[in-house]
Amino acid sequence: MAEAQKLSVRPRAVLGKKVNALRRKGVLPGVVFGGRADSTPVETDLHTFELSYRRWGNTTLLALTGLDGGEVPALVYDVSRDPVSGRMLHVDFARVSLTEKTHADVPLHFVNESPAVRTLGAVLLHARSEVNVEAFPQDMPRAIEVDLSGLLEIDDAIFVRDLKVDATTLRITNDPDELVVKAVPVKVEEEPKAAEAVVPAEGEVAAEGEAGEGAAPAAGAEAGKPGAPAAAKGGASAAEGAAKGAPPKAPAGGAKKS
């Protein structure tokens, strides 16, 4: 059973947008809620809380002092931060009962080295970084250790059912078959090959429709078709004369001498 960590808080009178003035003075605004009681605005020292929160996390039982009615057992429910600077802006405390079980998201702490990573060049695929735990507030763990030394081969994995916890004090509510971490091979993607340009062989005639606009049709095109040149008929007569042994007519103007 963990001992509650004491944290001094004070009732807060400054509300709304005016809390920015508190932050400039090093004061962290917050609220205590739950436990079948009204919400109570509180404030605490920003620097002191930030140093302690690094050790506590969200699952360490706290005893809030400085409020009416004595110490208030609570857990840190949420901490709001500035998205740019990361500075703490607000903290929510959830009242808890030491005689009733509660739920909290407990972070996973991965320890030791996987042989599959060290010797086979695998990489670890982390599917979960925390699990939900049901326990009494004083039994809530700070973190749950995950031993990676059992990942010996590629595709070895650790599931929620494999996590080592004290079943007498806490219960993990996640699906037992849910993946936690797995050793997977490194995938090397091949670069796509550049498309090779198709160059027609010498003398090869382009297919119909591939010739450029205005290109001359191949010799011997069928006469009479739409768009067929009139010279096609003359070309057929010259070919017929050549077949009968008559010399072909020389082009007008005579042959060009070399």
> What's residue 46's pLDDT?
96
More confident residue, 191 or 221: 191
| Cα–Cα distance for residue pair 105/172, rounded to 1 Å | 10
| Cα–Cα distance for residue pair 222/243, rounded to 1 Å | 19
Which pTM was predicted? 0.66
Q: Which two structure tokens, joined as six digits, stand for 90?
A: 């607000």
In our burial notation (b when 16+ CB lie closer than 10 A, e otherwise), range 157-174 reads ebbbeebebeeeebebeb
In our burial notation (b when 16+ CB lie closer than 10 A, e otherwise), range 179-204 reads ebbbbeeeeeeeeeeeeeeeeeeeee
Q: Does the pLDDT at position 188 exceed 70?
A: no
pLDDT digits (tens, 9 = 90+) for 118-144: 999 999 999 999 999 999 999 999 999
Q: Are 5-96 and 103-184 in the same CATH fold?
A: no
What percent of the chain is predicted at pLDDT more than 70? 72
More confident residue, 69 or 240: 69
> What's residue 62's pLDDT?
96
Angle at 128 between CA 127 and CA 129, to 5 degrees: 135
Average pLDDT for the chain: 81
Of the pLDDT bands very low, low, confident and very high (cuts 50, 70, 90), residue 239 is very low
Is 182 in contact with 149 (CB distance < 8 Å)? Answer: no
| Cα–Cα distance for residue pair 31/17, rounded to 1 Å | 15
Number of C-beta neighbours around residue 112 at 10 A = 12
> What's residue 36's pLDDT?
84
Domain ranges of the chain: 5-96, 103-184
pLDDT digits (tens, 9 = 90+) for 78-122: 999 999 999 999 999 999 999 999 999 999 999 999 999 999 999
113 residue type, one letter: E
What percent of the chain is predicted at pLDDT more than 90? 65
Q: Which two structure tokens, joined as six digits, stand for 110?
A: 């991965």
Topology adopted by domain 5-96: Ribosomal Protein L25; Chain P (2.40.240)
Cα 43 vs. chain centroid, distance in angstroms? 36
pLDDT digits (tens, 9 = 90+) for 60-81: 999 999 998 889 999 999 999 9
Of the pLDDT bands very low, low, confident and very high (cuts 50, 70, 90), residue 193 is low
Q: At CB < 8 A and 24+ separation, what contacts does 170-175 make?
A: 170/133, 170/134, 170/135, 170/139, 170/140, 170/141, 171/133, 171/134, 171/135, 172/131, 172/132, 172/133, 172/134, 173/103, 173/131, 173/132, 173/133, 173/134, 174/128, 174/131, 174/132
More confident residue, 256 or 5: 5
Q: What is the CATH number of domain 103-184?
A: 2.170.120.20
